[in-house]
């Protein structure tokens, strides 16, 4: 496993110290699988102020389409050839078609009847049950042999900073025959790795990271939790890899509980930094893709300038797809580890 990095150094003259020379380090890292580059730079203390959540949330329940008093009246239903009952309901959670589809078979699943759940108040059980509801939908589209039943993906945008337009906790649940960009690149690279090295990249990664320990967080059931070597998020990413599983469809209910528990740990750890928003994506192969392993990325979202509301994505990331992380992932690992 090659963890390639190019260290860089910038020299500036400091006006507050008689123009003394000052050296500022940075580093460019390359993801060992895809070669995607990520910059470690802009070093700052990973500490943000939490806003007044009561103020942020106030009034948003009055128009929320996902609240229990409205959800069955305003959300669309699936046609009978996809889901005879129209929507799926499990306890206080509802799954229905995404009214803003980005593929032909997309759903949204509410994770609760309550309009707002603080990040640290999600229980393992609730997260696992919401994933379970999504799995029921995936099994349904598989059972009807829907042509999009190839990659089964759950994404989670939590709170507006992450790109979520609704406070009410919900998951994006979709099945697609067209793998999203980074997932497709990873699948291609994992297939090529298997061909050239004769082993599974993800198994090699887990072994290497478990042995070195620099980015290892812990193990829950058959999931291994790591901080990503070349993170996408400005405060690092948490990566979980599930042993022996290539596709979402192979996850067991025990796996869902392990995943939920690890996500809770990540949320608790980032909450300590004042972060209250994140993206989480499933990265999956299709059934039988033995060259890959199911994994997920949890990426905290925050601001470059919180007072101005400056998002943590600028031109470098938006147009070059070059990422910035404001601390070394190995240091972030130390901040997260006590929660795993």
Number of residues that bind Zn ion (CB under 5 A): 5
Ramachandran angles phi, psi of 108, nearest 5°? -120, 140
For residue 58, the minimal CB distance to Zn ion (Å) is 13
* Closer CB to Zn ion, 67 or 183, in the complex: 67
Stretch that binds Zn ion, among 67-75, 136-144, 187-195, 305-313 (CB under 5 A): 67-75
* Closer CB to Zn ion, 63 or 320, in the complex: 63
Rounded to whole angstroms, what are the CA distances from 225 to 114, 119, 184, 228, 267?
29, 19, 22, 9, 13
For residue 61, the minimal CB distance to Zn ion (Å) is 5
* Closer CB to Zn ion, 66 or 276, in the complex: 66
From the list 115, 129, 152, 215, which residue makes contact with Zn ion (rule: CB under 5 A)? Answer: 115
From the list 46, 66, 93, 263, which residue makes contact with Zn ion (rule: CB under 5 A)? Answer: 66
Q: Are residues 239 and 228 in contact, defined by beta-carbon separation less than 8 angstroms?
A: yes
Cβ atoms within 10 Å, residue 52: 8
Residues 285, 272: Cα–Cα separation, whole Å: 34
User: 3-state secondary structure string, 124-158?
Assistant: HHHHHHHHHHHHHHHHHHHHCCCCCCCEEEEEEEE
Stretch that binds Zn ion, among 22-30, 37-45, 164-172, 290-298 (CB under 5 A): 164-172
111 binds Zn ion (CB under 5 A): no
- Angle (CA) 195 249 132, round 5°: 145
67 binds Zn ion (CB under 5 A): yes
Residues 263, 111: Cα–Cα separation, whole Å: 15
46 binds Zn ion (CB under 5 A): no
Q: Are residues 8 and 25 in contact, defined by beta-carbon separation less than 8 angstroms?
A: yes
108 binds Zn ion (CB under 5 A): no
From the list 38, 40, 64, 266, which residue makes contact with Zn ion (rule: CB under 5 A)? Answer: 64
Comparing CA positions, the residue from 9, 15, 47, 50 lying closest to residue 161 is 50
Stretch that binds Zn ion, among 66-74, 88-96, 278-286, 323-331 (CB under 5 A): 66-74
CB-based contacts of 29-32 (< 8 A; 24+ apart in sequence): 29/3, 29/4, 29/5, 29/229, 29/230, 30/4, 30/5, 30/230, 31/229, 31/230, 32/1, 32/2, 32/3, 32/4, 32/201, 32/205, 32/229, 32/230
For residue 169, the minimal CB distance to Zn ion (Å) is 9
> How remote is the C-alpha of 333 from its chain's centroid?
17
152 binds Zn ion (CB under 5 A): no
For residue 74, the minimal CB distance to Zn ion (Å) is 11
Residues 202-231, mask of contacts with Zn ion (x by CB under 5 A): ------------------------------
For residue 68, the minimal CB distance to Zn ion (Å) is 8
Residues 165-184 that bind Zn ion (CB under 5 A): 168
116 binds Zn ion (CB under 5 A): no
Residues 79, 14: Cα–Cα separation, whole Å: 66
Stretch that binds Zn ion, among 41-49, 160-168, 186-194, 281-289 (CB under 5 A): 160-168
Stretch that binds Zn ion, among 5-13, 114-122, 155-163, 298-306 (CB under 5 A): 114-122
Residue ranges binding Zn ion (CB under 5 A): 64, 66-67, 115, 168
């Amino acid at each position: 496993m090659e963890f390639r990095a190019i260290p860089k150094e910038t020299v500036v003259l400091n006006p507050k110290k008689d123009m003394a020379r000052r050296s500022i380090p940075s580093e460019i890292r390359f993801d060992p699988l895809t070669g995607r580059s990520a910059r470690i730079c802009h070093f700052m203390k990973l500490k943000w102020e939490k806003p007044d959540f009561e103020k942020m949330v106030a009034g948003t329940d009055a128009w929320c389409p996902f609240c229990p008093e409205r959800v069955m009246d305003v959300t669309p239903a699936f046609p009978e050839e996809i889901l005879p009952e129209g929507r799926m309901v499990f306890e206080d959670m509802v799954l229905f078609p995404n009214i803003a589809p980005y593929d032909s078979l997309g759903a949204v699943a509410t994770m609760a009847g309550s309009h707002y759940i603080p990040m640290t108040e999600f229980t393992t059980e609730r997260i696992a049950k919401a994933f379970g509801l999504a799995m029921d939908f995936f099994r349904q589209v598989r059972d009807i042999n829907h042509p999009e039943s190839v990659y089964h993906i759950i994404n989670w945008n939590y709170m507006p900073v992450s790109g979520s337009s609704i406070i009410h906790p919900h998951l994006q649940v979709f099945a697609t025959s067209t793998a999203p960009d980074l997932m497709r690149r990873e699948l291609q690279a994992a297939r090529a790795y298997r061909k050239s090295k004769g082993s599974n990249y993800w198994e090699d990664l887990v072994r290497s990271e478990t042995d070195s320990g620099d980015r290892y967080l812990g193990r829950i059931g058959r999931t291994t939790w790591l901080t990503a070597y070349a993170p996408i998020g400005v405060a690092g990413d948490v990566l979980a890899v599930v042993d022996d599983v290539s596709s979402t469809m192979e996850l067991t209910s025990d796996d869902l509980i392990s995943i939920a528990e690890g996500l809770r740990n990540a949320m608790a750890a980032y909450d300590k930094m004042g972060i209250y928003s994140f993206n989480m994506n499933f990265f999956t192969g299709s059934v039988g893709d033995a060259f890959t392993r199911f994994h997920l990325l949890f990426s905290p979202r925050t601001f470059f300038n919180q007072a101005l509301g400056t998002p943590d994505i600028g031109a470098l990331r938006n147009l070059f797809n070059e990422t910035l992380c404001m601390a070394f992932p190995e240091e972030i690992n130390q901040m997260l580890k006590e929660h795993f």
